[in-house]
């Protein structure tokens, strides 16, 4: 952002920065809503809300911008404040983008084992990468760097839940309802999404309640993650101590932003099913998505099967969290999947049968 020589009053630069980010949000076009072809009984429909089409390629784009707006309004960021974050994924890419927009220095503190492709994605947006070991030291190190250099630790895991503006007309929940209304469809019967920080499910849930919508919210959860067992047992601080293998979703602990009271169903998804469904999604629709979108497709199929068995109707919307371009050498690579013990053949048969016939029978005959 140009460093103007005009208003020098305290907070003037921060106010201009907030105005710049709000204008950026207002100018952003809604992401596409794609229909997924379904066989079987009528009365239901499946749509993909493609958040990979955000300017930085993922669902994290809007929450990252809201984090900046919140920190600016609270006086945590000024024109010369260096920014730090502990993440190597899509949130770091989005934050680096907005830091560059405001002409601010940005450093992502990442595990030493973070691959070169991930590092390049952050650096391509103007960010710096600061590797540390062991991996769990990233949080302490990001805070330490911010204190040492007079900067601000964005700390998305703790702060993003309150920062997201769920009441905005351009929020994800509002966009989905508007998309379906323009198609002449009713509010969705279900929205299916994943949980990383848990902030997106909370924001969508609050937007639905504010609207008075009867839409129900399903969260998909990969192996090793804490959200399903924590939600099922009612233990809000549940921990597994194990990392998720599905990029973008799943956490070893229930994060503060996740609100189980806003979630109607949490669906555990095997990792092999997530990867298989990601590939099936691309084969059927041409949408090249990341593995969290595969988790959402697997969960959406279960929801649709449940609706049909109950005689219910209406649209179901799943969230495509990010694009698949960054995963060509991992989740889209057969040798990578095989090396991690992921047998995709069974889940792919289940998905093909459901798409072609409407029959959902995981574990049944091929």
Q: pLDDT tens for residues 181-238?
A: 999 999 999 999 999 999 999 999 999 999 999 999 999 999 999 999 999 999 999 9
Calculate what percentage of the chain has a pLDDT beyond 90: 93
Give pLDDT, residue 327: 95
What are the sequence ranges of the domains in the chain? 25-55+167-357, 60-162
Please indicate whether the domains covering 25-55+167-357 and 60-162 agree at the CATH topology level: yes
pLDDT at site 6: 58
In this prediction, residue 120 has a pLDDT band, given cuts at 50, 70 and 90, of very high
Q: Per-residue pLDDT averaged across 116-130, rounded?
A: 96
Q: Does 25-55+167-357 carry CATH code 3.10.580.10?
A: no
Confidence (pTM): 0.94
Backbone angles phi, psi at 317, to 5 degrees: -120, 125
Q: How far apart are CA 294 and CA 307, in angstroms?
A: 20
Q: Residue 152 above 50 pLDDT?
A: yes
Q: What is the pLDDT of residues 32-91, one digit of tens each?
A: 999 999 998 889 999 999 999 999 999 999 999 999 999 999 999 999 999 999 999 999
3-state secondary structure the chain: CCCCCCCCCCCHHHHHHHHHHHHHHHHCCCCCEEEECCCCCCCEEEEEEEHHHCCCCECCHHHHHHHHHHHHHCCCCCCCCCEEEECCCHHHHHHHHHHHHCCCCEEEEEECCCCHHHHHHHHCCCCEEEEECCHHHHHHHHHHHHHHCCCEECCHHHHHHHHCCCCCCCCHHHHHHHHHHHCCCCCCCEEEEECCCCHHHHHHHHHHHHHCCCCEEEEEEECCCCHHHHHHHCCCCCECCCCCCCCCCCCCECCCCCCHHHCCEEEEECHHHHHHHHHHHHHHHCCCECHHHHHHHHHHHHHHHHHHHCCCCEEEEEEECEECHHHCCCCCCHHHHHHCCCCCHHHHHHHHHHHHHCCCCCCCCC
Task: Please tell me the predicted confidence (pLDDT) of residue 366.
Answer: 42
Q: What's the pLDDT score for residue 2?
A: 52
Could you tell me how far CA 201 lies from the centroid of its own chain? 9
Query: Taking a C-beta distance cutoff of 8 angstroms, is the pair 31, 51 a contact?
Result: yes
Q: What is the pLDDT of residue 88?
A: 94
Question: Does the domain at residues 60-162 carry the CATH identifier 3.90.850.10?
Answer: no
β-sheet with 314-320: strand ranges across: 33-36, 44-50, 314-320, 190-194, 216-222, 265-269
Residue 145 has pLDDT above 90, yes or no: yes
Q: Could you give the percent of the chain with pLDDT greater than 70?
A: 96
From CA 223, how far away is CA 200, in angstroms rounded? Answer: 20
In angstroms, what CA-CA distances link 295 with 114, 123, 197, 332?
A: 23, 28, 16, 14
Average pLDDT of the chain? 95
pLDDT at 21 over 90: yes
pLDDT tops 90 at residue 365: no
Going across the sheet that includes 128-132, the strands are 128-132, 106-111, 83-86, 152-153
Q: Judging by beta carbons within 10 Å of its beta carbon (0-12, 13-18, 19+), is residue 97 exposed, middle or buried?
A: buried
Is it the case that residue 7 has pLDDT exceeding 70? no
């Amino acid at each position: 952002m140009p460093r103007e020589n005009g208003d020098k009053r305290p907070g003037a630069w921060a106010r201009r920065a907030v105005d710049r980010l709000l204008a950026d949000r207002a100018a952003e076009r809604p992401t596409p809503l794609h229909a997924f072809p379904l066989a079987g009984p009528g009365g239901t429909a499946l749509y993909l809300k493609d958040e990979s089409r955000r300017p930085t390629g993922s669902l994290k784009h809007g929450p990252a911008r809201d984090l900046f707006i919140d920190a600016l309004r609270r006086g945590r960021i000024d024109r010369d404040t260096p920014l730090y974050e502990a993440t190597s994924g899509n949130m770091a890419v989005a934050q680096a983008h907005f830091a560059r927009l405001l002409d601010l220095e940005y450093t992502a503190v990442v595990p030493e084992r973070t691959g070169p492709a991930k590092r390049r994605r952050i650096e391509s947006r103007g960010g710096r990468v600061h590797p540390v070991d062991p991996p769990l030291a990233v949080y302490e190190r990001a805070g330490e760097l911010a204190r040492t250099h007079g900067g601000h630790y964005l700390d998305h895991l703790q702060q993003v839940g309150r920062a997201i503006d769920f009441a905005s007309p351009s929020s994800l929940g509002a966009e989905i309802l508007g998309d379906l209304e323009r198609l002449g469809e009713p509010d969705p019967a279900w929205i299916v999404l994943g949980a990383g920080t848990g902030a997106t499910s909370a924001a969508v849930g609050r937007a639905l309640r504010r609207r008075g919508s009867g839409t129900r919210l399903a969260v998909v959860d990969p192996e090793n993650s804490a959200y399903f067992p924590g939600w099922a047992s009612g233990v809000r601080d549940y921990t597994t101590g194990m990392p998720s293998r599905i990029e973008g979703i799943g956490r070893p602990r229930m994060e503060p932003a996740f609100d189980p009271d806003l979630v109607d169903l949490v669906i555990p998804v095997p990792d092999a099913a997530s990867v298989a469904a990601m590939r099936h999604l691309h084969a059927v629709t041409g949408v090249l998505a990341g593995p969290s979108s595969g988790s959402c497709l697997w969960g959406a199929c279960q929801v649709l099967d449940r609706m049909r068995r109950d005689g219910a109707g209406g649209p179901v919307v799943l969230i495509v969290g990010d694009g698949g371009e960054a995963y060509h050498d991992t989740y889209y690579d057969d040798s990578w999947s095989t090396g991690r013990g992921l047998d995709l053949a069974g889940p792919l048969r289940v998905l093909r049968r459901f798409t072609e016939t409407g029959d959902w029978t995981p574990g049944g005959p091929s």
